[in-house]
Amino acid sequence: MAKKPVKKLSPERKALISKLINEFDIKSAKDIEDMFKDMFSPMLQEMLEGELDDHLGYEKYEHSGESGFNSRNGHSSKKVTTSFGDMELEVPRDRNSTFEPQIVKKHQRDVSDIENKVISMYAKGMTTRDISSHLEDIYGIEASADMVSKITDRVLPEAKAWQSRPLESKYIVMFLDAIHYHVKEEGQVVKKAVYIAIGIRLDGTKEVMGMYIGGNESAKYWLGVLNDLKARGVQDILVCCVDGLSGFCDAIATVYPQTDIQRCIIHQIRSSTRFVVSKDMKSFVSDLKKIYKANTQEDAWEQLDAFDSKWGKKYPAAVKSWRDSWNELTSFFQYPYEMRSLIYTTNAIEGFNRQLRKVTKTRTVFPTDDSLFKLLFLATRDITAKWYGKPHNWGLIVSQLMISFPDRISDEDFA
């Protein structure tokens, strides 16, 4: 059996680990265990507080509990067994004694692994109602859908911090695409775009650089996304792979003028074949393939001329679209052969989007932008946990790029 590659940590995770090591003064395996124990207790405490919020109908420090209504009434200490050993909890109480905690029930002393159940099920795409039913059926835990939602809301600060984290200064390739969802806004259901950027670092590993919820997809909003990426530290991108959205190329050139733009060939083929009759399709697509599979850009241009001679009169719009976008469609020819198949399509990000759709397919409408972002963040965390390795022949690709772009990448970038 082949040995599974060792998973490499992303730079941001390395930075987080270094911070934790310094903050907790970790010097041994026992110190690591103690650190997790220290972190777990406050998290479980917050979940208990979230249950009481749900029970009372208002959050801590709000005043809805005054004037005779039920309200908080301190805490009672309780020792429980967790996967990190025994620890003390302060279980919140209400004045009317009607609060029945479910995450840690009355008389329950073992809570090992319970802390991950709600978040894990939510990240897999289960609705809050499904989770509520599942917890009751399988674990005997009574938790309303509203309470489950409040528990999962606890990840929002982490999600916001992830969205604003610093990025690396250089990327070999960046893929940009959008996925669309319906969200309630001011009493109406509107269609919103989630703008997604995925980058390939200098070491060949992938990362989701950011996800941004906005209105319908537009070049103007993409300009804002690109400016945010630059503000977070991205100074240079060799190649940016995009679809055919009008104005996209201008937006990229405004923020990253040195970046080569590669229009997705697959999107272009789909656009070119929209009005081709079925009897012509096989031959038409075969002739298109000769263009983007040519050895050089000059050979590709000759193939386009031949394609024009054969199909230009019958399908003039298809030929015109290739000529009008020729520079963006053929940027990949200037790169090493080993890199071409990586950048002439946006398959890398479309595959990621397909996985997001699997998780979100049970939701036809999201109640808020935050509810959508929360689920996408948790799904992204699950999806990217399986990302390891790098494109085939990455070392050869980088060495060739260093020769082609000596002023943009060098040995110093890999020191």
Structure tokens at 301: 């241009």
What is the value of pTM for the model shown? 0.68
Residue 138: predicted pLDDT: 57
67 pLDDT higher than 60: no
| Structure confidence at residue 141 as a pLDDT band (50, 70, 90) | low
Computed over every residue of the chain, the mean pLDDT equals 83
Here the tokens at position 356 are 């997001």
pLDDT of residue 397: 86
Residue 105: phi and psi, rounded to 5, are -70, 165
**pLDDT band (50, 70, 90) for residue 162:** very high
The architecture in CATH of the region 169-264+346-415 reads 2-Layer Sandwich (3.30)
Q: Is 87 helix (H, G, I), strand (E, B) or coil?
A: strand
Contacts of 168 (CB under 8 A, 6+ apart): 11, 199, 201, 202, 233, 234
Q: Looking at residue 1, what is its pLDDT?
A: 44
Query: Backbone phi, then psi, for 409, in 5-degree steps?
Result: -135, 145
Cα separations in angstroms, 293 against 133, 311, 332, 344, 375: 53, 18, 11, 11, 39
pLDDT digits (tens, 9 = 90+) for 234-286: 999 999 998 877 778 889 999 999 999 998 888 888 889 988 999 999 999 99
CA–CA distances in Å: residue 268 to residues 112, 208, 254: 53, 25, 23
**Does residue 320 register a pLDDT over 70?**
yes
DSSP 188: E
pLDDT the model gives residue 54: 82
For residue 93, what is the enclosing H or E element?
Answer: strand 85-94
Domain ranges of the chain: 11-61+69-159, 169-264+346-415, 267-333
Question: Which of 37-41, 93-97, 215-219, 271-275 bottoms out in mean pLDDT, i.e. has the lowest?
Answer: 37-41
For residue 241, the surrounding DSSP H or E stretch is strand 236-242
Fill in the amino acid letter for 341: S
How confident is the model at residue 83, as a pLDDT?
A: 57
